[in-house]
């Protein structure tokens, strides 16, 4: 029998990308250190803009390997 978390994860993964992004945002804000996560209006507006781009299928995506390679390249010491 699957655990509750497995069932919830499977249900969440079945959501649309916009619904998953919204859920992820809400879950992050619900963490214990929520008091420390205060976003200024400009940052919150940027989050909303990006979520809308995903919802409207206007966002561009790159393979995760490409993203990690770029991060490693930028932050090499």
What are the pLDDT tens digits along the chain (77 aa)?
568 988 999 999 999 888 888 898 888 878 766 565 667 888 889 988 998 998 898 988 888 889 889 888 888 85
Assess contact for 47 and 39: CB atoms under 8 A: yes
Assess contact for 29 and 37: CB atoms under 8 A: yes
Place of tokens 């991060």: 71
Assess contact for 12 and 20: CB atoms under 8 A: yes
| Ranges of each domain in the chain | 4-74
Q: Does the global pTM surpass 0.85?
A: no
Residue 26's pLDDT is 86
């Amino acid at each position: 029998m699957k655990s509750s978390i497995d069932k919830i994860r499977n249900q969440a993964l079945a959501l649309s990308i916009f619904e998953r992004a919204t859920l992820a945002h809400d879950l992050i804000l619900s963490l214990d250190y929520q008091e420390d996560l205060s976003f200024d209006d400009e940052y919150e507006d940027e989050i909303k803009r990006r979520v809308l781009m995903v919802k409207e299928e206007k966002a561009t995506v790159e393979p995760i390997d490409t993203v990690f390679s770029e991060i490693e390249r930028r932050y090499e010491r």
